[in-house]
Amino acid sequence: MKIGIFDSGLGGLFLTKAITDAVPEYDYVYLGDTKNLPYGNRSKDDVYDLTKNAVDYLFKNDCELIILACNTASALALRRLQQEYLPTHYPDRKILGVLVPMAEAAAERRPSKIGVLGTLGTVNSRAFINEIQKIHPEAEVIQSAAPLLVPIIENDEMESAGPVLHEYLDPLKNVEISRRRY
């Protein structure tokens, strides 16, 4: 089986490495849309169209399963792709996102507060809040949009990330820090 992994940039390569290390018996195709990144500042329709184009490309290249490694695509496009696009175009294929597994991991220890640092699109979608509260309704989910973080990371400018990260993390300062990496 061939599995496609899609992200709006190169960040999904970390997930790809983890998946290929854990399940090496499959063939993998990684697609990063570096031409159109970042997705986080785009409209829901733009994110859907860009993600649909990527998914279509991966399916046409024989992927049977696609994992959206992009939180913004998972938050803004996944459900519509699963409900509208797949049934009419690829009814025998699957698309999964990263948002629900990340919400499950964040809520696993049942902390009273959970912090989410994400793109503007992901934060505004409230997708993490909704998914975390399905699992752990008592949790207070505090979100902070980080619109400059993706361009900083994708352009390998981490030396300038300090002040920007400080600003984005400030709203999350009272959230318990988990030692788990998601």
Residues 70-110 pLDDT 10s: 999 999 999 999 999 999 999 999 999 999 999 999 999 89
Total structural domains within the chain: 2
**Which one-letter amino acid corresponds to residue 97?**
G
Tokens of 51: 């993600």
Residues whose CB falls within 8 Å of the CB of residue 100, separated by 6 or more in sequence, listed in order: 131
Where does a domain end: 46, 71, 98? 98
Shared domain for 83 and 125, answered yes or no, is no
pTM: 0.88
**Mean pLDDT lowest among 22-31, 48-57, 110-119:** 110-119
Shared domain for 36 and 60, answered yes or no, is yes
Tell me the percentage of the chain whose pLDDT exceeds 90. 76
177 occurs within a structural domain: no
Tell me the percentage of the chain whose pLDDT exceeds 70. 96
178 occurs within a structural domain: no
Residues 114-123 pLDDT 10s: 999 999 999 9
Who has greater pLDDT, 150 or 59? Answer: 59
Shared domain for 10 and 94, answered yes or no, is yes
Enclosing domain of residue 152: 100-172
Distance from C-alpha of 77 to C-alpha of 62, rounded to nearest angstrom = 21
Tokens 């809520």 found at: 107
Task: Report which secondary-structure segment, H or E, holds 129.
Answer: helix 127-135
Average pLDDT over all residues of the chain: 92
Residues 145-182 pLDDT 10s: 998 887 888 788 888 888 888 888 888 887 765 544 44
Given this model, what pLDDT does residue 178 score? 53
Shared domain for 56 and 18, answered yes or no, is yes
The CATH number of whichever domain residue 75 belongs to comes to: 3.40.50.1860
